[in-house]
Amino acid sequence: MSNLALYLLNRARSNPANPAITGNGQTTSFAELGDRMLRLASAMRNRLGLACGDRVLICMENQPEFFEL
């Protein structure tokens, strides 16, 4: 596995119903997380023109949405 995103997407394929993230009083399955990750990546490519390998700075509070990014 070369990075966290690939690991999470592989888990979404192999164990979609398993919980991936628990926080803020809710649980997100690997399937939901994988879907959110792919939609966000698509939006960043289409709207921002980012390409695979581009670097993005993330500045946010410690929260479950970090894994989507």
Chain segment 25-42, per-residue pLDDT in tens: 899 999 999 999 999 989
Write out pLDDT tens, residues 8-28.
899 999 999 999 998 878 999
pLDDT at 44: 92
Question: Angle 18-22-24 (CA atoms, 0-180°, nearest 5)?
Answer: 150
The answer, yes or no, to whether residue 1 has pLDDT greater than 60, is no
Apex 26 CA angle, 21 and 31, nearest 5 = 50
- Nearest by Cα to 5 from 48, 53, 47: 53
CB atoms within 10 A of CB 52: 6
